[in-house]
Structure 1
Amino acid sequence: MVTRNSSDVIVVGAGVVGAACAYYAAGAGLRVTVIDRGPVAGGTTGAGEGNLLVSDKGPGPELELAIVSSELWAELAALLPPEVEYEPKGGLVVASGEDGMAALRDFAVRQRQAGVTAEEVPADRLHDREPHLAPGLAGGFHYPEDAQVMPALVAAHLLRAGGDRVCLRLGEEVTGLLTGANGEVRGVRTSSGEVRAPYVVNAAGTWGGELARLAGVELPVLPRRGFVLVTEPLPRVVRHKVYAADYVADVASGSAALQTSPVVEGTRAGPVLIGASRERVGFDRTLSTEALQRLAAGATALFPVLAGVRVMRTYAGFRPYLPDHLPAIGPDPRLPGLVHACGHEGAGIGLAPATGLIVARCLTGGDPPLDTRPFRPERFASASP
Structure 2
Amino acid sequence: MNRTRVVVIGAGIVGAACARELALAGFDVLVLDRGRPAGGTTSHGEGNLLVSDKGPGAELALAQLSARLWPRLVAEIAEDDPRAAAATEFDPKGGIVVATTEAGADALVAFAEAQRTAGVRTERLSAADVAAAEPALTREVTAAVRYPEDAQVQPAGAALALLGSALRHGARLRTGAEVTGARVRDGRITGVRVAGEVVEADVVVNAAGPWSGPVSARLGAPIAVRPRRGEVLVTTPMPGVVRHKVYDADYVGAVGTGSGELQTSAVVESTWGGTVLIGSSRRRVGFDDTIRPDVLGAIAAKAVRLFPALADAAVMRAYGGFRPYVDDHLPVLGEDPRLAGLWHATGHEGAGIGLSVGTALLLRELLTGATPSMPVAEFTVDRPAVLA
Per the alignment, do residues 372 and 315 of structure 1 end up closer, same or farther by CA in structure 2, a change over 3 Å counting?
same
The answer as to 2:148 corresponding to 1:144 is: yes
Match runs of 1:215-230 below 5 Å: 215-230=219-234
Secondary structure of 1:377's match? coil
The answer as to 2:174 corresponding to 1:191 is: no
CA offset digits 1:197-239 (Å, max 9, x no partner):
1100000000111111112223111111111000001212100
Identical-residue share of aligned pairs (%): 53
Match runs of 1:76-155 below 5 Å: 76-80=73-77, 81-155=85-159
Match runs of 1:290-369 below 5 Å: 290-369=294-373
Per the alignment, do residues 32 and 116 of structure 1 end up closer, same or farther by CA in structure 2, a change over 3 Å counting?
same
Mapped to 2, the partners of 1:159 and 1:240 lie a distance apart of 28
The answer as to 2:79 corresponding to 1:57 is: no
Paired letter, 1:362: L
Secondary structure of 1:212's match? helix
Mapped to 1, the partners of 2:386 and 2:224 lie a distance apart of 12
The answer as to 2:164 corresponding to 1:167 is: no
Q: Is the 8 A contact 2:5 2:28 kept in 1?
A: yes
CA offset digits 1:223-263 (Å, max 9, x no partner):
11111000001212100000001100000000000010000
Mapped to 2, the partners of 1:382 and 1:95 lie a distance apart of 34
CA offset digits 1:89-123 (Å, max 9, x no partner):
00000010222111111111110111100100122
Q: Is the 8 A contact 1:7 1:196 kept in 2?
A: no
* Structure 1 unmatched ranges of 5 or more: none
Mapped to 1, the partners of 2:256 and 2:264 lie a distance apart of 13
CA offset digits 1:157-211 (Å, max 9, x no partner):
111112152100011100111112x120111110262211110000000011111
Among 172, 181, 191, the alignment partner of 1:176 is 181
Which residue does 2:276 correspond to in 1?
272
Among 14, 18, 21, the alignment partner of 2:15 is 18
Paired letter, 2:7: I
Secondary structure of 1:88's match? coil
The answer as to 2:70 corresponding to 1:73 is: yes
Q: Is the 8 A contact 1:7 1:33 kept in 2?
A: no
Per the alignment, do residues 192 and 122 of structure 1 end up closer, same or farther by CA in structure 2, a change over 3 Å counting?
farther
Mapped to 2, the partners of 1:365 and 1:192 lie a distance apart of 34
Q: Is the 8 A contact 1:219 1:380 kept in 2?
A: no
Secondary structure of 1:378's match? coil
Q: Which runs of 4+ in 1 moved over 2 A?
A: 380-384
Q: Is the 8 A contact 1:92 1:242 kept in 2?
A: yes
Q: Is the 8 A contact 1:176 1:214 kept in 2?
A: yes
Per the alignment, do residues 39 and 337 of structure 1 end up closer, same or farther by CA in structure 2, a change over 3 Å counting?
same
Secondary structure of 1:317's match? strand
Which segment drifts farther, 47-56 or 125-134? Answer: 125-134
Mapped to 1, the partners of 2:95 and 2:333 lie a distance apart of 27
Which residue does 2:377 correspond to in 1?
373
Match runs of 1:29-40 below 5 Å: 29-40=26-37
Superposed displacement of residue 7, structure 1: 6.3
Mapped to 1, the partners of 2:360 and 2:146 lie a distance apart of 28
Mapped to 2, the partners of 1:291 and 1:169 lie a distance apart of 36
Secondary structure of 2:233's match? strand
Q: Is the 8 A contact 2:193 2:199 kept in 1?
A: yes
Mapped to 1, the partners of 2:205 and 2:371 lie a distance apart of 18
Among 211, 218, 232, the alignment partner of 2:215 is 211
Q: Is the 8 A contact 2:231 2:321 kept in 1?
A: yes
Superposed displacement of residue 329, structure 1: 0.3
Mapped to 2, the partners of 1:84 and 1:296 lie a distance apart of 27
Mapped to 2, the partners of 1:381 and 1:274 lie a distance apart of 31
Mapped to 2, the partners of 1:96 and 1:198 lie a distance apart of 53
Which residue does 1:247 correspond to in 2?
251
Paired letter, 1:90: G
TM-score by length of 2: 0.95
Mapped to 2, the partners of 1:69 and 1:166 lie a distance apart of 22
Which residue does 2:81 correspond to in 1?
none
Mapped to 2, the partners of 1:137 and 1:154 lie a distance apart of 34
Among 47, 67, 78, the alignment partner of 2:44 is 47
